[in-house]
Structure formats: structure tokens, C-alpha cells
Chains A and B, each alone.
Chain A
């Protein structure tokens, strides 16, 4: 008796636990089935979250209260507007600073194998930081020199062994958009499934890479409000002052714009579909496991019914069984999933996070499904005379 020494009233061992623990191998098979269903669902959710968290990485790490973008822009870097509008925005009451932000793909030649690929360029005025990433802001002085850049260490390996070369002190030039550039520092931001990696450069170097016409076109204006200024009032005033082609978005709206765009892309739809499939298959597995487990004990339940147990009491035993299986199966399921998430993060450079809410959702779904299938399995016992079930 485990609790023999505790001053607790002694209680009967739950029948469900006796039944489950009596057949160890069976229990193990049932638990691995439920764990597998959980892993399946978590992986699909993880892929989906990886896609979305990756896409909003850059907009989410911008440091501002209001963002000016071209009205037709569907995602960050999609469309541009004229730089002169930024000076007009700076004059709007309540605006403390209005800073330029460039976000554009550039060609990139892998220095190791000379293969041409592409990278995404983040450019800003080194005197006017716009990102809430300390590693970038601390090193902005390093990008003021001609043709110098900061490199994201979480970029994909297909861009070349840039980080390793930099740490080893090698100063090999890399061809970016036709110019030879050198790495002066690194930061960690992370890519997403549509982007190979990022570099940070100055607005002056951006002009050198892309020419005056493009340097005059901003992908976003990052606005900070004066203390005490009302966000809604300033946004309304910006919309009124600036030409119609420019929208003023709050930070949340900027992130939502990005999310909505990628969710409607074929890849987004495929990921949503995968999530639904994961759920359906997971639910079917949980149902099968519990149904067969309860079904195997049906004659024992019939015996108990024959000696005077009520349907309600037996239903309780079956619910206990479902709960035990759901809880015990969930634990290895979520542990394996966490391991696979970090493996996936390391392989892709895309952050794959387990959110508490999602974890709880999957757990309660497992539990509800388990209890429901147990109830269905035991229905036979409710309707029939015990003598028919032996």
C-alpha cells in the first residue's frame, strides 16, 4: 500500500487503473497510439505556426507606433512610396520621429560555391535605428563604412558558411547585387520559409546597391509618437495629411496584414489543410484506441452490471479509463513534439514554438475525444440486457 503511512482515508484502487495496468503491453500500445496522434497534430500545428511566426518576424521586430506603407502593399516590402512624404509625416502634431525603412530582395553569390541565390536586405539610416533588436542597434556604426553589412546568423546554410568565416576572422568579399560587400558583424533574427536570410546595411549603401531612384522609394516609414499623444488621433491626422496612396497602420495592423497575405497564399492554404488533416487523423486514432480498449472489457462490465452496478457507475469507470489514457498518452506526445520542434528549428532557422494555449487545446481535445469514444463503446452495455453481452 503506497499511501499506507499517510493519514489519508484508505480508498479503493480505481477499477480502470487495475484494468489498464493488468495488461502492460496493451497499455503501452494504447499509450503509443495516443502519443502518436498527439505528435501528428502537434507537428501539423508546428509547421503552420513556423510559417506564420516566420513571416511576421521582421514586421514584429520593427520598433514604432505607426507605420506608413503604400496603400496597395499586401506585405512588408511589396510596394513603396516616395521618401518626401516622410518629411510631411514628421510635421504632423504628435509625431516624435519618422524614420525610413527599406526591405528588399537582393542577389547573393554564395562565396563557397559561386552559386547565385538571393537574400533580403534591411536598410536604415544608422543614426535612426528602427528595429527593436539590440544586436543590430549596437552595431549600426559598423555598417556606416562603404559596402559593409551585418549578417543574420540564422540565415540558411545555402547562402554559404558566412558566420563561420566571419568568426574565423576571414574578410572575404561577398557579391551582393553585383557589388563586393564585407561582413562587419552578425545578429540573430531568423528567417521564414519564403526567405533565405537577412543582412542589415545603411541607407547610403542601399543607394550604392540599388541606385538613386530606388533609394528614394521607402518600403515603410516608422513613426514614433510623442509621449502622451493619442494613437488614433495621430493616425487619423496622418491619413488626412498624406496622399491617399499612403496608409497609416498600427503595429498590430501591420502584423495582421502580413499574416493575412501569407495565409491566403497556396502555401498558407496547404498548411491549414495539413492542420485539419492532422486533427482528423489524430481524432480517429484516439477513437480507435479507446473504443477497442473498452470493447475488450465489455464482458467484465456486463458481469459487474449483473451483480448490481448501474450504468452510471460503469460509465464512470470507462471515463476514468479514458482520462488515464489521455493524460498518460499526452505526456510523451508533447515531449516528443517539443524535441521535434527544436530539431526543425535547427534545420530550417525558422522558429517553431509550442504555445501553451495550443498545447492545452490539443490536450483537451484528446480528453474529450477519449471520453466520447469510451461513451460510444460502452453504449452497447446500456441498451442491452446483461445476459446478451456475456
Chain B
């Protein structure tokens, strides 16, 4: 089976000319379907940059970066837009729209899916919010939700379109240990139901055990891969 993520010889630098500062150096990484991978490492090691490159939020500079079969190096604007709608991206700071209710926020992702009627969108949004345990909060705005609830709305938004790849950037950073744990287990369960692949950036040690594989990153390089039991010690 073709890997969902296939990265070969990826280099990335910020700045131009003599001021260019390399942030990613010779990254090689393949992630298989249904795999849950955690990417960890100190701040500034390049984790978020790698994730944003994979999500098509940043243009690739050098090397090969194949996501869901789409080569991102030199991809057109239209191809990038297409790819972004096929990935579920979960941001560090939930990035919900303050002016919209939980349901409306989730609908924003559904509005991009062709062939769905208004009522289909309502049904799917409510079903998804119920699945993340917010069935009773569908008409609440983010300002009236707790941190964990907001992050769960963001997960619902990312998962409602049933993407084959979820990219999550420190989804538990703003949460206490219990809600962080709940959020990650929720992602794990929903991902298994929808048979999708998850790449999760975190330095939260409490959630490492959900992964099939843990990759460490330092100074822009992937330095070692472990199984979760070894890392948990």
C-alpha cells in the first residue's frame, strides 16, 4: 500500500541568501495508512514547520513531499487548495471563528464538500459534535466554551469531512492533563472509526502511549524513532 505521507530529502530554510537559516535538514519519513505517529522534540526543532509543510500551509523548497498521493514541491495554488480540503488540520490555538457557533464552525468545513444539502450539513455537524461529547453545546459560541470544549469543536471540524490524514499541532498544549488526555483519546477513537492516519506534534509526555511510533526531532533533523513503551519510561 502507498504511504499516506512520503517525504524524501526535504530541506527548508527561513530567510534568503546569506541570512538563510536552515530549519529542516534532510528529512526522510514515510507514514503508512492508519498509523498514529507522534512527532516530538524541543521548541525550535522544526516540528511545526514540518507539519505546516505537510498541510500545504507553507510552500516546499527542496526535496520531495508526497501527501495523499499529491507531490507538494512545485504544486499549483489550486492543487494546494484541493489538498488542504482533504486534510484535517488541528491548530495549536484551536483557531475557531469567534463569530460562529460550534455547529457553524463545523459547517465551515462541510461547506467545501460538494453535493451536500443544507440539511445534510446540519445532520453531519450535529452528529460529529455529539461524537466529541458536545451534543448539548451545538449553538454555543467559542467565548462560552471551555478550553477543552473549544479544542473538541476544532477536532470535530477537522474530522467531520472524514479526511484520510489528520495533522495536529500540539492539540493539548492549552489544556489541563485530564482534558488533554480526553481530547487525544477522542482523536484516537474517531480516527480508528474512520480509518485515518494521524500525525501529532507534541511535547506532552502524558499522551505518548497512544502512538504506534514516536519520532524525535532536534535541530531540524529526525534523530530517532522509538516504540511508545520505551518512550514512556
Contact = CB atoms under 8 A, between A and B. Distances in A.
Interface of A: 9-13, 15, 18-19, 21-23, 299-300, 303-311, 385-388, 390
Nearest to B82: A308
Given A22-B99, A307-B84, A387 B57 contact: yes
A307 B99 contact: no
Interface string B99-128: 110001001110110000011010000000
A-B CB proximity, top 10 nearest: A308-B85, A22-B99, A387-B57, A308-B84, A387-B52, A303-B95, A10-B118, A387-B58, A385-B58, A386-B57
Contacts of B55: 306
Given A307-B89, A385-B59, 12 more contacts: A9-B118, A13-B104, A18-B104, A303-B95, A304-B108, A306-B57, A307-B158, A309-B81, A310-B81, A311-B77, A385-B58, A387-B52
Contacts, number: 70
Interface centre among A15, A303, A311 (most CB of B within 10 A): A303
Contacts of A310: 78, 81
Given A306-B57, A385-B58, A387-B52, A18 B85 contact: no
Interface residues of B, number: 30
A307 B108 contact: yes
27 contacts: A12-B118, A12-B121, A15-B108, A18-B99, A18-B104, A19-B97, A21-B99, A23-B99, A300-B95, A303-B97, A304-B97, A306-B84, A307-B84, A307-B85, A307-B108, A307-B157, A307-B158, A308-B81, A308-B82, A308-B85, A308-B109, A308-B112, A310-B81, A386-B57, A386-B58, A387-B57, A390-B95
Given A10-B118, A311-B77, A303 B91 contact: yes
Nearest to A305: B84
Contacts of B107: 12
Contacts of B121: 12
A309 B91 contact: no
Contact of B100 (A18, A308, A311): A18
Nearest to A385: B58
B176 interface: no
B140 to A, nearest CB: 14
A198 B57 CA distance: 74
Nearest to A300: B97
B159 to A, nearest CB: 12
Interface string B125-137: 0000000000000
A21 to B, nearest CB: 8
B112 A309 contact: yes
Contact of B111 (A12, A23, A299, A300): A12
A22 B98 contact: yes
Nearest to A9: B118
Nearest to A389: B57
Contacts of A388: 58
B161 to A, nearest CB: 9
Nearest to A388: B58
Contacts of B157: 307
A386 B55 CA distance: 10
Contacts of A307: 84-85, 89, 108-109, 112, 157-158
A10 B104 CA distance: 14
B124 to A, nearest CB: 14
A15 B59 CA distance: 28
Contacts of B99: 18-19, 21-23
A172 B199 CA distance: 99
Contacts of A304: 97, 108
A306 B108 CA distance: 12
Interface string B168-183: 0000000000000000
A314 to B, nearest CB: 11
B89 A306 contact: yes
A308 B108 CA distance: 10
Contacts of A10: 118-119
Nearest to B99: A22
Contacts of A308: 81-82, 84-86, 109, 112
A41 to B, nearest CB: 31
A307 B82 CA distance: 10
A21 B100 CA distance: 11
Nearest to B92: A390
B126 to A, nearest CB: 15
Contacts of B59: 385
Contacts of B97: 15, 18-19, 300, 303-304
Nearest to B52: A387
B79 to A, nearest CB: 11
Nearest to A21: B99
Interface centre among A12, A22, A304, A307 (most CB of B within 10 A): A307
Contacts of A303: 91, 95, 97
Interface in B37-84: 52, 55, 57-59, 77-78, 81-82, 84
Contacts of B98: 22, 300
A13 B107 CA distance: 11
A89 B82 CA distance: 82
Contacts of B78: 310
Given A308-B112, A387-B57, A11 B118 contact: yes
A386 B57 CA distance: 5
Contacts of B77: 311
A60 B100 CA distance: 59
Contacts of A11: 118
B149 to A, nearest CB: 18
Nearest to B110: A12
Interface centre among B86, B95, B104 (most CB of A within 10 A): B95
Nearest to B83: A308
